[in-house]
């Protein structure tokens, strides 16, 4: 549970970065692009003694990892487009509810043996989905809603669906790779660095294209944001892989706890430091999230007791 807890805390630090970026005029897109080289350097520093990073293009997992890195950037861009055209609520729900995809694959396709689910666990999974929906629901202002409604036509309605599928697919592939290609903690660093390399290549190509087209101008402040974003970004992903390994690559157990854990901690910090108010639906969702955690992990909790 230690690695899972660390991954949750580090992921919340990422959200805090995004929250304060506008306050310091940090270009979020550039910070995201440059955060991946910072991730790469962080991973190199964590390499075990005597090891070095190498790329073996003859290995299947290398291409899968590079493709996942590209998927990270594409998912981010898709989320941005969905937020602008379909609203925050629809995009946030699509993002968080996408956990149902890796959960279903873990239970019914990968059939991971790290944990046997009983009816209490399945009840917890159902409550987790409801909790995610309620806690991430935010009523949009009338101004925002009218602007969003004007753009909710044609292919735009498919954007949240794309967010749902892309997030679900990337998390499922992470689980698949962890199950089949990461037999030890030492290999975790190599695979993670390869994913980051794919994101670096895709991100720099996209940024270069935007600079050439005149849609972006380089902002040095984004480099500082890249550092504060990149270190926890790599560590959150690395500890998530270690958590998956610790629980037998059982995404049906790890992903629901990870998602609702991030939501709970983020909601607490938002209330403490940013004075964000929770609606009745949000409060009910947080209560259900706590209950879901207990039901999903009751075996582990009983062992501790």
**The two structure tokens encoding residue 31:** 């910070």
Mean pLDDT across the stretch 285-298?
81
Rounded Cα gap, residues 239 and 263, in angstroms: 18
Other beta carbons within 10 angstroms of residue 88's beta carbon come to: 15
CA-wise closest residue to 151 among 53, 242, 82, 77:
82
Side-chain half-sphere exposure of 169, counting CA atoms within 13 A: 15
Crossing angle of the two packed helices 88-97 and 119-135, in degrees rounded to 10: 160
Instruction: Name residue, tokens 């950037």.
Output: 73
How large a percentage of the chain has pLDDT more than 90?
18
**The two structure tokens encoding residue 79:** 């989320």
Rounded Cα gap, residues 272 and 136, in angstroms: 17
> Tens digits of per-residue pLDDT, 13-29?
887 887 788 888 888 88
Rounded Cα gap, residues 88 and 137, in angstroms: 9
Q: 87 by DSSP, 3-state: which?
A: coil
The per-residue pLDDT for 305 is 46
Q: 59 by DSSP, 3-state: which?
A: coil
Query: Which residues, 6 or more positions from 304, have their beta carbon under 8 angstroms from its beta carbon?
Result: none
253 and 300 in contact (C-beta within 8 Å)?
Answer: no
The per-residue pLDDT for 239 is 92
Q: What is the number of H-type helices and E-type strands within the chain? A: 13, 0
Domain that holds residue 102: 2-304
Rounded Cα gap, residues 235 and 232, in angstroms: 5
- Provide the pLDDT confidence category of residue 114 given band limits of 50, 70 and 90: low
DSSP assignments along 159-209, one per residue: HHHHHHHHHHHHHHHHHHHHHHH--SHHHHHHHHHHHHHHHHHHHHHHHHH
DSSP assignments along 225-279, one per residue: HHHHHHHHHHHHHHHHHHHHHHTTT-HHHHHHHHHHHHHHHHHHHHHHHS-PPPP
CA-wise closest residue to 117 among 299, 249, 245:
299
Q: How far is CA 195 from the centre of its chain?
A: 14
Domain count, the chain: 1
Pick the most confident of 78-87, 115-124, 182-191, 206-215: 206-215
> Tens digits of per-residue pLDDT, 251-289?
778 888 888 888 788 878 877 877 777 788 878 888 888
Distances (CA, A) of 64 to 5, 49, 155, 201: 27, 26, 29, 15
pTM of the model: 0.79
**The two structure tokens encoding residue 7:** 């991954």
């Amino acid at each position: 549970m230690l690695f899972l807890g660390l991954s949750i805390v580090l992921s919340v630090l990422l959200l805090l970065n995004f929250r304060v970026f506008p306050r310091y005029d940090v270009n979020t897109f550039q910070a995201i692009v440059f955060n991946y080289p910072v991730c790469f350097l962080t991973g190199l520093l964590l390499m075990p003694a005597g090891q070095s990073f190498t790329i073996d293009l003859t290995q299947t997992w290398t291409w899968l990892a590079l493709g996942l890195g590209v998927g990270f950037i594409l998912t981010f861009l898709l989320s941005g487009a969905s937020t602008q055209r379909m609203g925050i609520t629809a995009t946030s729900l699509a993002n968080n509810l996408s956990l149902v995809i890796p959960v279903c694959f873990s239970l019914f396709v990968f059939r991971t043996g790290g944990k046997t689910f009983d009816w209490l666990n399945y009840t917890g999974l159902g409550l987790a989905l409801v909790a995610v929906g309620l806690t991430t629901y935010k009523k949009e202002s009338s101004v925002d809603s009218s602007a969003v409604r004007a753009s909710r036509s044609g292919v735009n309605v498919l954007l949240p669906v794309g967010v749902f599928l892309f997030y679900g697919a990337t998390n499922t592939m992470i689980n698949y790779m962890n199950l089949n290609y990461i037999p030890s903690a030492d290999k975790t660093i190599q695979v993670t660095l390869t994913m980051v390399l794919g994101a670096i290549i895709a991100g720099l190509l996209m940024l270069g294209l935007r600079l050439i087209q005149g849609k972006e101008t380089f902002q040095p402040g984004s480099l500082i944001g890249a550092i504060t974003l990149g270190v926890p970004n790599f560590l959150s992903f690395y500890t998530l892989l270690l958590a998956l390994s610790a629980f037998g690559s059982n995404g049906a157990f790890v992903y629901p706890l990870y998602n609702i854990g991030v939501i709970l901690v983020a909601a607490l910090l938002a209330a403490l430091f940013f004075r964000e108010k929770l609606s009745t639906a949000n409060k009910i969702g947080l209560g259900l999230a706590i209950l879901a955690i207990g039901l999903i992990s009751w075996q582990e909790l009983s062992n501790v007791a």
